[in-house]
Chains A and B, each alone.
Chain A
Amino acid sequence: MRRFAADVATLARKDLRLELRARDTLPAMLLFVFSALVVFHFAIPDSSSRLASNGLLWVAILFTALLGLGRAFVPEREHSVLDGLVLAPCDRSAIWLGKGLATLSFLVAAEAIALPAFALFFSGLGASAVAGVALADVGICLVGSFVAAMSVASRARELILPLLFLPLAIPIVIGGVGASVASGPGRYLAFLALYDAVFAILCWASFEYVVTE
């Protein structure tokens, strides 16, 4: 287990270093989420309800994550590095978890801008909504990294990723919106936690088959 954690840390650290150097994913995510919220601010009338604006926050988060996930395996595609990682004697699911953690850190950084901007343009978020965002982030990044790895081998990868990821993200949106607006958010948070746990196990168990022929 310690060995697995060390491999995950090595791989996640490598992704953060690549991003610090290339700066081609996080700035795009920050700009996108802020622009989307500005557009939503002007697109919906002042008289619209708080419920509608909460829904727009989830749209912005989901598509910002999709932007990051679309670039998640770009460095591995270059020079076929994924083959090198697959041949390394580490548990192959460490590749998925390392990528998921790196993507999670980018998404959290984007939300550090998005949530205050949302409060500025629309309304402040309660603790349950923030907890919902945190749980949703985990699910988005774990499932999204898995699907991104599946799509990287495909010629139509730009199409495959959203086509596979968005249906899988529907429960996240249901749980997240419920946690943000329902009077009893506890069951929605529990639902998100269950989703994260189930999909983490499924992705961990099946990632090996995604990266080998």
Chain B
Amino acid sequence: MIRATALGKRYGMKRVLHDVDFELERGGFLVVTGPNGSGKTTLLRLAVGLAAPTAGAIEVAVDRARLGFVGHEPLVYGELTALENLDLYGRLYRVPERRERIGMLLERFGLWDARRERAAKFSRGMLQRLALCRAFLHEPELYVLDEPFTGLDDEGAELLDRELAERRPRGTFLVATHDPARLEPLATGRLSFA
């Protein structure tokens, strides 16, 4: 699903990634670990095409329509409600039975009661739940998740554990985390940055 060869990324003079090789098979679950600033986020941005490599190559065998991405930011409009944000993405992704699917996800992620509230009024944890709803809305094939547990309380984290376990058999996962033990039961491989 993803193959990186001698992958490198520089921002000006700063070398963020150097000579990274890895392969993620379809159905695999690769956990990316490493300290802050080691290049995990850059790697994930390269994988989804939000950044271009300055050396080597990364091939991703899935198009944008089948890719679900959770980054450091929730990628939602603060002035739109949770419902409006998901409706916008649902339209752009041509999600079938959009309203039902949005309702089901909001319910599952505990945001149904806040569905008509503006995202700007959400707590960090609620924004993360909304970001997960956005990323899962179109039933992606490839999940690229950057610190997906950030901001979640215990209940939210357990909910995400269940969600990942449920989606694991029908998806491919590239997940950056500071808590690899949490994802150990699901992982098929680990990529560690020094």
Spell out A's residues near B (CB within 8 Å). 6-7, 10, 14, 17-18, 21-22, 75, 78-81, 83-90, 212-213
Spell out B's residues near A (CB within 8 Å). 48-52, 63-65, 67, 69, 71-80, 84, 88-89, 91-94, 118-119, 127, 134
Are A22 and B79 in touch, CB under 8 angstroms? yes
Are A84 and B75 in touch, CB under 8 angstroms? yes
Are A14 and B88 in touch, CB under 8 angstroms? yes
Those 8 A-B pairs whose CB atoms lie nearest each other, nearest first: A84-B75, A89-B65, A80-B73, A88-B92, A89-B64, A10-B91, A213-B51, A79-B73
Are B77 and A79 in touch, CB under 8 angstroms? yes
Complex Cα spacing A75 to B48, Å:
22
Nearest-CB distance from B86 to chain A (Å)?
A: 11
**Would you give 30 A-B contacts (Cβ < 8 Å), ordered by A?**
A6-B91, A7-B92, A10-B88, A14-B80, A14-B88, A17-B84, A18-B79, A18-B80, A21-B79, A22-B79, A75-B78, A75-B79, A78-B78, A79-B74, A79-B75, A79-B78, A79-B119, A80-B71, A80-B75, A81-B75, A83-B50, A84-B75, A86-B50, A87-B69, A88-B93, A89-B64, A89-B93, A89-B94, A212-B49, A213-B50
Are A212 and B75 in touch, CB under 8 angstroms? no
A-chain residues with CB within 8 Å of residue B80 when the two chains form the complex: 14, 17-18, 21
Residue of B nearest to A18 (CB): B79
16 further A-B pairs in the complex, CB-CB below 8 A; given A17-B84, A81-B77, A212-B52 = A14-B80, A18-B79, A21-B118, A75-B77, A75-B78, A79-B74, A79-B127, A81-B76, A83-B50, A84-B76, A88-B93, A89-B63, A89-B93, A89-B94, A213-B51, A213-B52
A-chain residues with CB within 8 Å of residue B73 when the two chains form the complex: 79-80, 83
In the complex, the number of residue pairs spanning A and B with C-beta atoms less than 8 Å apart equals: 73
B-chain residues with CB within 8 Å of residue A75 when the two chains form the complex: 77-79
A-chain residues with CB within 8 Å of residue B78 when the two chains form the complex: 75, 78-79
Residue of A nearest to B65 (CB): A89
B-chain residues with CB within 8 Å of residue A81 when the two chains form the complex: 75-77
Nearest-CB distance from A177 to chain B (Å)?
A: 38
B-chain residues with CB within 8 Å of residue A14 when the two chains form the complex: 77, 80, 84, 88
Nearest-CB distance from B61 to chain A (Å)?
A: 15
The contact of B67 among A10, A21, A87, A90, by CB within 8 Å, is A87
Complex Cα spacing A83 to B76, Å:
10
Nearest-CB distance from B123 to chain A (Å)?
A: 14
Residue of B nearest to A85 (CB): B92
B-chain residues with CB within 8 Å of residue A84 when the two chains form the complex: 75-76, 89, 134
Are B89 and A18 in touch, CB under 8 angstroms? no
B-chain residues with CB within 8 Å of residue A17 when the two chains form the complex: 80, 84
A-chain residues with CB within 8 Å of residue B127 when the two chains form the complex: 79
Complex Cα spacing A22 to B63, Å:
35
Complex Cα spacing A114 to B69, Å:
45
A-chain residues with CB within 8 Å of residue B65 when the two chains form the complex: 89
Complex Cα spacing A100 to B71, Å:
27
Nearest-CB distance from A11 to chain B (Å)?
A: 8
Nearest-CB distance from B134 to chain A (Å)?
A: 7
Nearest-CB distance from A19 to chain B (Å)?
A: 9
A-chain residues with CB within 8 Å of residue B71 when the two chains form the complex: 80, 83
B-chain residues with CB within 8 Å of residue A213 when the two chains form the complex: 50-52
Nearest-CB distance from B44 to chain A (Å)?
A: 11
A-chain residues with CB within 8 Å of residue B72 when the two chains form the complex: 80
Are A88 and B89 in touch, CB under 8 angstroms? yes
Complex Cα spacing A22 to B92, Å:
23
Residue of A nearest to B9 (CB): A213
